C-alpha cells in the first residue's frame, strides 16, 4: 500500500491520479456527512463535488501539522453543508426534511450497496446507546468542538472524551478495525 | 508520557473528528511524530469513522470523472483539449483586428476630407471677413464724409422720364470733389450709361463730369467725381455708351439745384 503521506504530497503537487485515489478513499464518507446535514440527494451531490474541487484548489493550504487529511476535507465538507443550510434555498425546502440523526438515515437506508459493512452498521447503530448516538452525531457529523459538545450535552469535557472513546471503540470492534 | 493513558483519554478520537483547537492539534501531531505507535491507533479510528459516515450516504458513489474536468491542471493534454477554443478566439481576434483596421483607415480618410473642407471654408470665411472689413472701412469713410460740416448736400429729384428716380450729391468744395449717391437710379439699359452734369443756370451751361461706367458693377452705387466747377445744379442723363458732348434733355433722370 502506498504511503498516504506520499499521496498527499503528490496531491499538493497537483497530481490528478494521486487525488483520484484520495477521492475514492473519502468520497462516500464526505457525501454521507453532507447528506446528514442537508438531507437532499441533489444538493448532497453538488456540495460533495464542490468540496473536492475546493480541496484541490486549496491543496497548498493543507498542512499535516494542523491535522489529518481526512479531517481537513471533513471540515471543508461540514462547513459547505452548514453554509447551505443557512441559505434561502435550504430554508424553502426545509419542510421536506424528515430525519435528524445519522442513525435515522442509516436505519431507513434501503441501499444495499457493495459496502459489506452497511448491514452490520445498520444493526450496530440500532443497538447503539442514545448517549453514543448523540455524541457521534455532534462530534463527527455536525463538527462540534469538544467544548460545544460538552455544552450541548451538558457533560464535562472529560466525560465527552471518554464516552466518545468508548462509543468509537464499540464501532471499531464491530468493524474489526 | 504513558502512551496507553494518552490513547485512553479519547483525545485521538477527537483529533480525527476535528474537534480540537489548533494548538491541541499541533500537540497531538508532535506526540504522534515522537510515538509512531500512535499513528496506527489514529488510522484505525479514522478507518472506523470513514466507514460509519460513508454508510449514511444516499446515492451510489459519485465517480471521480464528475469533477475531474473541473480540476485545474498544468498538463499539456488540457491545453490540447482547449485548443479549438483558442483558435476560435484567435479567429475572432483577427476579424476584430481587420474591422478595427479598416475602421481606422476609413476614419483617417474621412478626417482628411473634413480637414480639406474646413480649410476651404476657412479660406472663404477669411476672404469674407477681409471684404467685410474693407467694406466697413469704406462705409466709415463715407460716414465721415457725410458728417463733415463743410460738405453741401444736394438732393436730385426724379424727372419726367423717371419720376421715381432720385440721387444725392455731397459736394466737398475743399477738395473739389463730389460724392454721388446714385442708389435711387434704375439699372441703365444695355448700351446706355448715366452721365453726370454740372450746370450753370443762367444761361444754362452744362459741363460733363463723366459717365458712371461702373454703375452696374458698383454695389453701394456711390461714386467719387472731381468737380472744380462753380456748379449751381447737378443733373444725370441717360446717354449712349461712351457719353455725349451735351446732355440729352429728354433723357434727364434726376436734377437738383444747389441752394445758395
List, for residues B113-151, the tens digit of each pLDDT value.
999 998 888 888 888 888 888 888 878 887 887 777 788
- Residue B34 counted as domain residue: yes
Write down the pLDDT at residue A72.
96
In a domain, B79, yes or no: yes
For residue B75, list chain A residues with Cβ-Cβ distance below 8 A: 16
> Which band of pLDDT confidence, cut at 50, 70 and 90, is reported for residue A108?
low
Give the per-residue pLDDT at B79.
46
Residue B192, beta-bridge partner list: B240
Helices A16-38 and A4-12, packing angle to 10 deg = 100
User: Distance (Å, rounded) from C-alpha A165 to C-alpha A152?
Assistant: 18
Complex confidence, ipTM: 0.89
CA distances B79 to A54, B64, B68, B72, Å, are 22, 21, 15, 11
Strands of B192-200's sheet in order across: B205-211, B192-200, B233-240, B252-257, B151-158, B166-172, B177-181, B222-226
CA distance A156 to B34: 29
Helix (H) / strand (E) element for B199: namely strand B192-200
Average model confidence (pLDDT) for chain B? 87
Predicted confidence band of residue B77 (pLDDT cuts 50, 70, 90): very low
CATH topology (fold) of A1-97: Rna Polymerase Sigma Factor; Chain: A (1.10.1740)
Contacting residues for A93 by C-beta, under 8 A, at least 6 apart: A40
Is the pLDDT reported for residue B41 higher than 90?
A: yes
Say yes or no for a CB contact (<8 Å) between B57 and A161.
Answer: no
Least confident segment among A112-116, B97-101, B248-252: A112-116
Average pLDDT score over chain A: 85
pLDDT of the residue at A110: 55
Which H or E element spans position B155? strand B151-158
| Cross-strand pairs, B195 | B211, B237
pLDDT confidence bin for A47, thresholds 50/70/90: very high
User: What tens digit of pLDDT does each residue of A128-138 get?
Assistant: 888 888 999 99
Q: What is the third-level CATH fold of A98-177? A: Arc Repressor Mutant, subunit A (1.10.10)
Longest dimension (CA), chain B: 161
**Mean pLDDT within B23-47:** 94
Nearest Cα neighbor of A26 from B46, B257, B129 is B46
Q: Are A171 and B52 in contact (CB under 8 A)?
A: yes
pLDDT, residue A49, reads: 94
State residue B182's pLDDT score. Answer: 92
pLDDT of residue B218: 83
C-alpha cell at A170: 464499540
In this structure, the answer to whether residues B202 and B237 fall within a common structural domain is yes
Is it the case that residue A99 has pLDDT exceeding 70? no
A45, B68 Cβ separation under 8 angstroms: no
Q: Quickly state the pLDDT bin for B174 (edges 50, 70, 90).
A: confident
Residue B179 clears pLDDT 80, i.e. is over it: yes
Q: What is the DSSP secondary structure assignment for residue B188, as one 8-state letter?
A: P
B124 and B166 in a single domain? The answer is no
Amino acid B148: pLDDT: 78
Q: Give how far A36 is from chain B: nearest CA, Å.
A: 7
Across the A:B interface, residue pairs with CB atoms under 8 Å apart total 178
The mean pLDDT value for A93-116 works out to 60
Contact by Cβ (8 Å): A120, A175: yes
Tell me the residues of chain A between 68 and 97 that have a Cβ less than 8 Å away from chain B. Answer: 68, 70-72, 74-75
- Chain B closest CA to A14's CA: distance in Å? 7
User: Last residue of some domain: B26, B58, B90?
Assistant: B58
Q: What percent of chain B has pLDDT over 90?
A: 53
For residue B7, what is its C-alpha cell?
A: 490513547
pLDDT of residue A113: 53
pLDDT of res. B132: 85
Q: What domain count does chain B have?
A: 3
Instruction: Name the residue range of residue B125's domain.
Output: 72-147
Which of B233, B180, B176, B183 is CA-nearest to residue B211? B180
Give the closest of B26, B29, B54 to A29, CB-based. Answer: B54
**Residue B55 has what DSSP assignment?**
T
Mean pLDDT over B54-75 rounds to: 81
Per the CB < 8 A criterion, the answer to whether A48 and A27 are in contact is yes
CATH number of the domain bearing residue B178: 2.60.40
Residue-wise pLDDT for B206-228, tens only, equals 999 999 988 888 888 889 899 98
Contacts of B49 in chain A (CB under 8 A): 29, 70, 140, 168
Report the DSSP pairing between strands B177-181 and B192-200: unpaired
Average pLDDT over residues B195-206: 91
Please report which confidence band the pLDDT of residue B50 belongs to, taking 50, 70 and 90 as the band edges. very high
Domain range list for chain A:
1-97, 98-177
Work out the average pLDDT over B217-242. Answer: 90
Find residues 17-36 of chain A whose CB sits inside 8 Å of chain B.
19-20, 23-33, 35-36
pLDDT of B80 over the 50 cut: no
Residues facing residue A102 across a β-bridge:
none
Please tell me chain B's helix, strand, coil percentages from 3-state DSSP, rounded to the nearest 5. Answer: 45, 20, 30
pLDDT of res. B135: 82
**Do B175 and B241 have their domain in common?**
yes
In this prediction, residue A41 carries a pLDDT of 83
Instruction: Report the pLDDT value the prediction gives residue B85, as an integer from 0 to 100.
Output: 54
Q: Are residues B163 and B233 in the same domain?
A: yes
How would residue A177 be classed by pLDDT, with cut points 50, 70 and 90?
confident
Per DSSP bridges, beta strands B151-158 and B252-257 are antiparallel
Predicted pLDDT at B74:
60
Residue of B nearest to A68 (CA): B16
Amino acid at each position: 500500500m502506498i504511503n498516504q503521506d506520499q499521496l498527499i504530497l503528490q496531491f499538493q503537487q497537483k497530481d490528478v491520479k494521486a487525488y483520484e485515489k484520495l477521492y475514492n478513499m473519502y468520497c462516500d464518507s464526505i457525501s454521507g456527512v453532507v447528506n446528514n446535514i442537508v438531507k437532499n440527494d441533489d444538493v448532497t451531490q453538488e456540495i460533495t463535488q464542490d468540496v473536492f474541487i475546493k480541496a484541490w484548489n486549496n491543496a497548498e493550504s493543507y498542512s499535516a501539522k494542523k491535522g489529518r487529511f481526512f479531517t481537513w476535507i471533513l471540515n471543508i465538507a461540514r462547513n459547505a453543508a452548514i453554509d447551505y443550510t443557512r441559505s434561502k434555498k435550504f430554508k424553502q425546502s426545509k419542510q421536506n426534511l424528515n430525519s435528524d440523526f445519522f442513525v435515522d438515515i442509516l436505519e431507513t437506508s434501503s441501499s444495499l450497496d457493495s459496502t459489506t459493512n452497511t448491514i452490520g452498521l445498520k444493526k450496530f447503530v440500532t443497538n447503539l446507546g442514545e448517549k453514543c448516538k448523540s455524541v457521534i452525531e455532534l462530534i463527527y457529523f455536525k463538527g462540534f468542538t469538544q467544548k460545544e459538545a460538552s455544552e450541548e450535552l451538558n457533560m464535562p469535557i472529560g466525560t465527552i472524551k471518554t464516552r466518545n472513546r468508548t462509543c468509537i471503540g464499540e464501532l471499531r470492534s464491530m468493524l474489526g478495525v | 508520557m504513558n502512551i496507553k493513558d494518552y490513547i485512553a483519554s479519547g483525545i485521538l478520537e477527537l483529533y480525527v473528528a476535528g474537534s480540537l483547537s489548533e494548538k491541541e492539534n499541533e500537540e497531538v501531531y508532535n506526540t504522534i511524530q515522537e510515538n509512531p505507535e500512535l499513528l496506527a491507533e489514529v488510522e484505525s479510528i479514522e478507518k472506523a469513522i470513514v466507514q460509519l459516515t460513508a454508510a449514511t450516504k444516499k446515492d451510489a458513489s459519485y465517480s471521480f470523472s464528475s469533477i475531474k474536468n473541473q480540476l485545474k491542471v498544468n498538463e499539456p493534454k488540457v491545453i490540447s483539449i482547449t485548443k479549438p477554443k483558442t483558435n476560435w478566439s484567435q479567429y475572432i481576434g483577427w476579424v476584430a483586428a481587420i474591422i478595427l483596421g479598416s475602421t481606422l483607415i476609413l476614419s483617417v480618410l474621412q478626417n482628411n476630407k473634413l480637414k480639406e473642407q474646413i480649410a476651404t471654408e476657412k479660406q472663404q470665411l477669411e476672404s469674407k471677413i477681409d471684404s467685410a472689413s474693407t467694406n466697413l472701412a469704406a462705409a466709415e469713410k463715407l460716414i465721415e464724409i457725410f458728417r463733415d460740416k463743410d460738405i453741401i448736400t444736394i438732393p436730385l429729384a426724379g424727372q419726367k422720364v423717371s419720376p421715381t428716380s432720385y440721387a444725392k450729391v455731397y459736394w466737398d468744395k475743399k477738395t473739389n470733389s463730389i460724392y454721388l449717391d446714385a442708389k435711387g437710379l434704375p439699372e441703365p439699359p444695355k448700351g446706355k450709361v448715366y452721365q453726370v452734369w454740372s450746370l450753370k443756370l443762367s444761361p444754362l451751361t452744362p459741363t460733363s463730369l463723366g459717365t458712371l461706367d461702373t454703375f452696374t458693377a458698383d454695389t453701394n452705387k456711390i461714386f467719387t467725381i472731381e468737380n472744380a466747377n462753380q456748379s449751381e445744379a447737378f443733373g444725370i442723363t441717360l446717354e449712349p455708351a461712351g457719353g455725349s458732348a451735351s446732355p440729352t434733355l429728354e433723357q434727364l433722370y434726376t436734377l437738383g439745384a444747389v441752394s445758395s
